[in-house]
Amino acid sequence: MSSDISIIGLGLMGSALAGALLKAGHRVTVWNRSAAKAEPLAAQGAVVAATAAEAVGASPLVVVCVLDYAATRQSLEGADLTGRVVLNLTNGRPAEAREMSAWVTGQGGDYLDGGIMAVPQMIGAPGALVLYSGSRPAFERYEDTLAVLAEPRYLGADPGLAPLYDLAMLTGMYGQFAGFLSAAALIASEKRSVAEFTESLLVPWLHAMAAITPPMGAQIDAGDHATDVSNLEVNRVALTTLDAAFRDQGVKFDLLAPLKAVMERRVARGHGYEDMSGLAEELR
């Protein structure tokens, strides 16, 4: 069944969201600060609102995807939110989501926060994931509609959970990129093919190492960092060797140096016998 949905914010992601909903047959109203960005969507059948308040008034579900939470609040100021569900798909912090939820509900609306785990080109295709938290009734009401965009995953009633998990997943991604870029610089220092190294060696190795992370997560939950593999002292020595090798090759160790520093601090405090999972304790 088709729904009336408004999209506020037509950057690359907002436009992708609106396009996927239009393709699925929903009635979509759009608004963007610079009106020219609405033209391609109007050609696909979207209704272009003259103001953000008009867009809010057009639909019971209002999706906001803008630069930050301040822009979200600015877009919604003055609009009648009574009885409307505001779904904020803007990247931000848990504290901001909780503040926004309190403000929206104070205006008579219902609030969902979301974390998009996809790039715009993935929206509406397999592999895209959106994390949601906040009003369960609102999520259940629109779950099937939201499934058009990506796999919907509800995390709980606390609106801060979606941004928390979003930022945690981005943290893991950036950590992976830091390792990849450091490895690439090391291979390139000898003018070897980074693409060949990545495809034939690094990616299979990372897939194998990924199997270690769920048991490591269980160790962190339990606070038990015993290991029968390589402990922190062994890994400290390995990172010291890496640091020296990078310098030998004329490559900066900047992206991995913080890991080495935290590991050295943990070992110095008498935890060299532990698994790598023990480093999580140093970050809290």
| Whole-number pLDDT of residue 132 | 98
| Whole-number pLDDT of residue 2 | 73
Three-state DSSP class for 47? strand
Structure tokens at 240: 């010291």
Return residue ranges of the chain for CATH 1.10.1040.10.
Answer: 165-282
Beta bridge pairs of residue 31: 8
| Whole-number pLDDT of residue 142 | 97
Which pTM value belongs to this model?
Answer: 0.94
Rounded-to-integer distance, Cα 73 and Cα 70, Å: 5
Q: What is the pLDDT along the chain (284 residues), one digit of tens a residue?
A: 678 999 999 999 999 999 999 999 999 999 999 999 999 999 999 999 999 999 999 999 999 999 999 999 999 999 999 999 999 999 999 999 999 999 999 999 999 999 999 999 999 999 999 999 999 999 999 999 999 999 999 999 999 999 999 999 999 999 999 999 999 999 999 999 999 999 999 999 999 999 999 999 999 999 999 999 999 999 999 999 999 999 999 999 999 999 999 999 999 999 999 999 999 999 99
CA-wise closest residue to 24 among 150, 145, 152, 153: 145
Taking the alpha carbons of 234, 236, 237, 243 in that order, is the dihedral positive or negative?
positive
Residue type, 36: A
One of 3.40.140.10, 2.60.40.10, 1.10.1040.10, 3.20.80.10 is the CATH number of 165-282, namely: 1.10.1040.10
Q: Which residues of 210-220 are buried (b: 16+ CB within 10 A; e: fewer)?
A: eeeeeebeebb
Return residue ranges of the chain for CATH 3.40.50.720.
Answer: 4-156
One of 3.40.50.720, 3.30.530.20, 3.30.70.260, 3.40.50.360 is the CATH number of 4-156, namely: 3.40.50.720
| Whole-number pLDDT of residue 1 | 63
